[in-house]
Amino acid sequence: MRITDTADMWWKTAVVYCLDVETFMDWNDDGTGDLAGLAQRIDYLSELGVTCLWLMPFYPSPDRDDGYDITDFYGVDPRLGTHGDLVEAIRTAHDRGMRVIVDLVVNHTSDQHPWFVASRESKDSPYRDWYVWVDEPPAGQQPEPVFPDQESSVWTLDEKTGQYYLHHFYKYQPDLNVTNPAVRDEIARIVGFWLALGVSGFRVDAVPFFIDTIGESPTALPDPHQVVRDLRAFINRRSGDAILLGEVNVPFKQQLEFFGGSEGDELTLQFDFITMQNMYLALARQNAGPLQRALEQRPEIPRECQWGTFVRNHDELTLDKLSDSERQEVFDAFGPQKRMQVYGRGLIRRLPPMLDGDADRIRMVYSLLFSLPGTPVLFYGEEIGMGENLEIGDRTAVRTPMQWTSEPGAGFSRNDDAETFPAPLVTGEFGPEHVNVQAQRADPDSLLNFVRLLIARYRSSPELGWGDFEVLPQSSEQVFVHRSTWEDAVIIAMHNFGPDPVTVPLELEPGSTAIDLLSPHDEEIKGEVDLGRYGYRWLRVITPTTRRLR
């Protein structure tokens, strides 16, 4: 179904904010964040400029994988609240002009899910075919588990029935059998349920694994992508402007397939992992070349689709699409200690500690994020420069409680027993005593207020979400300059990846000038632009035609 009304494509200029309810705000003082606490902090997100809230899993779960091992796709974890609390949070967000999307984790279930419990009862169970069972793992090379330090195979033997079941992730997360029409119908019911409660779409977890048909007959589902097409068509029928934001970490050519090719009838948005990884390589080298090449290699996508751009997400900061030598460069620059690395392919750090707290460099990166073509996605705490807790280890090092104040519980909870928290607080120079919302709200020069400015300028600059993108070649390798053009409007963004000041030529048509959107002054700029150490500029080009329209 083609969308023709630009108002329905709200995601083109959205600002997405990802959070985990259990680490965001504890309202009943039991040490765990909850939906009531989230509702109390919606105004903060609205003030920041967030237009779309992405909730990580809040479903009932044994919580062995931070909620991604789900036992009820229709439920709400009682530790976090009730369906009523969730609806109240969604309603409050809607009242502030904010949409809500939720995680759709249907590649697998928990091994404690009633479906899997019934499935392993016997080979004759009605739920047996809801999962992938084989007498022996298929011959030939097997895919590597997603977490190779935890699992040695994607197949585990169930001693009760003598067959192996498939799990791309942990063995306690058996994969659902997407070739089974009953499973696909159930997924549609799950999606319909949450749409009816007011959500505006879904962040779809691990999409390539979701439609992987390993262990099944190739004739059972000749085109696995039909699963995504059917899901997109279903949400379009139920809610014309709901979205599917896909986690698809594959080469660009394959990503284009997950958009639905030229038809654009599969995922609405996809995270751009390749550009993110090359951005970190560019930061490590202090050379904009890797970022520029990645953006120029992006395939053209349908108008109904969009890239999701990000600096950090809730998982490891994966570098798997870089070469071994390139990955080592990033490790050497930003994660030289083994405890900072994970799975041999990624980092478990947040940006500010990686950049040694360098305020100029941190701000340059976020200026870059909001000026790149695509929809920016923030992970909670990025707006204040939170760090990670390496003592936790693994991916959860970045999933620490939100730092609201400098108080002992970081304003996250009034419970003085930190042992009850879902994760330990960050300590040291990035801990709540030094990094918190309360202090930064009162400081006009804080990172929080800078990000708020970036969001405001981004939201008032449709060129960035809708425009055609073009890299403007530069003589200095440390400078990245690009132009976004939409109808008669043009923005030129400049970013200096190096510590040395540079002067960048600004070539404009006769009679045209430019205004820096990030400057408090309205001075018009012509000719050359000075960029300080890790400097940045957003220049709106004013032509004789647009000047008359102002």
- Verify whether residue 315 is a known catalytic residue: no
Q: What is the DSSP letter of 143?
A: P
Closest CA to 352 of 422, 411, 440: 440
Distance (Å, whole) CA 193 – CA 139: 40
- DSSP annotation string for 360-402: HHHHHHHHHHHHSSSEEEEETTGGGT----TTT-SGGGG-PPP
> Dmax of the chain from CA atoms?
80
- CB count within 10 Å of CB 470 equals 14
How many residues are recorded in the chain?
Answer: 550
Whether residue 247 lies in the annotated active site: yes
Active-site position among 175, 216, 247, 516: 247
Cα distance between residue 57 and residue 174, in whole Å: 17
Cα dihedral: 25, 27, 31, 34 (round 10): -60
Asked whether 195 and 242 are in contact (CB, 8 A), the reply is yes
Match 């960050």 to its residue by tokens. Answer: 426
Can you say whether the dihedral through the CA atoms of 76, 82, 87, 90 is positive or negative? negative
Helix (H), strand (E) at residue 309? strand 306-310
Strand 513-516, strand 536-542: pairing = antiparallel
Determine contact, residues 332/325, Cβ cutoff 8 Å: no
Unique residue bearing structure tokens 């479903």: 59
For residue 41, how many C-alpha atoms fall within 13 Å in the half-sphere facing its CB? 24
Both tokens assigned to 125? 């169970």
Starting at the edge strand that comes first in sequence, how are the strands of the sheet with 317-318 ordered?
Answer: 317-318, 346-347, 341-342
Instruction: In whole angstroms, give the CA distance from residue 449 to residue 359.
Output: 13
Number of Cβ within 10 Å of residue 115's Cβ equals 19
In the set 85, 151, 205, 326, the catalytic residue is 205
What amino acid positions are annotated as catalytic residues?
Answer: 205, 247
